[in-house]
Amino acid sequence: MPNIVVKIDSTVATPEKIEKIADRLIEQKNLGNNIVAVVPPLENLEDRLLQFSQILSDNSSEREQHALNSLNTQVASNLLAISLIKKGVKAISLNGWQAGIEVAKSNQNVLIAGISHEHIIEHLSNDEIVIVAGSQGVDKNRNILEMGEGGPETTAVAIGAAINAEHVEILTVQDGIYTADPRVVKQARKLKQITYDEMLELANLGASYIHPRAVELAKIVEIPIVVRSSTENIEGTMIKGEVDMERNLIVRGVAYEADIIRLTVGYDSYEQSSLADIFTTLAEHKIDVDIIVQAVIDGVKPTVSFSIAKEDFAEAIKVLEKNKTVLGFSFADFEVGLAKVSIVGAGMVSNPGVAARMFDRLRNEKILVKMVSTSEIKVSVVVPQDEMVRAANVLHDEFNLMEVIA
Q: Do 258 and 160 reside in the same domain of the chain? A: no
Q: Do 47 and 155 reside in the same domain of the chain? A: yes
What is this structure's pTM?
A: 0.86
Domain containing residue 269: CATH number:
3.30.2130.10
Q: Which domain holds residue 83?
A: 3-172
Last-in-domain residue among 115, 138, 172: 172
Please report which confidence band the pLDDT of residue 25 belongs to, taking 50, 70 and 90 as the band edges.
very high
Number of domains in the chain: 2
Domain-embedded: residue 221: no
**Residue 40 neighbours by CB distance under 10 Å:** 23
Q: What is the pLDDT of residues 327-352, one digit of tens each?
A: 988 888 999 999 999 999 988 887 88
pLDDT value at position 406? Answer: 45
Q: Do 161 and 261 reside in the same domain of the chain? A: no
Which of these, 296, 287, 298, lies nearest to 263 by C-alpha position? 287
The answer to which of 43-52, 174-183, 252-261, 375-384 has the lowest mean pLDDT is 43-52
DSSP structure string for 15-40: HHHHHHHHHHHHHHHHTT-EEEEEE-
Q: Is the pLDDT of residue 57 over 80?
A: no
Last-in-domain residue among 172, 188, 222: 172
Q: What is d(CA 371, CA 265) in angstroms, rounded to the nearest whole number?
A: 15
Domain containing residue 130: CATH number:
3.40.1160.10
Burial class (CB in 10 A: 0-12, 13-18, 19+), 157: buried
Q: Is the pLDDT of residue 46 over 70?
A: no
The answer to which of 62-66, 133-137, 176-180, 389-393 has the lowest mean pLDDT is 62-66
Last-in-domain residue among 115, 149, 172: 172
| 144-146/136-138 β-pairing | antiparallel
Q: What is d(CA 60, CA 54) in angstroms, rounded to the nearest whole number?
A: 8
Q: What is the pLDDT of residues 311-331, one digit of tens each?
A: 999 999 999 999 998 898 888
Check: CB of residue 190 under 8 Å from CB of residue 245.
Answer: no
Q: Is the pLDDT of residue 12 over 70?
A: no
Domain-embedded: residue 261: yes
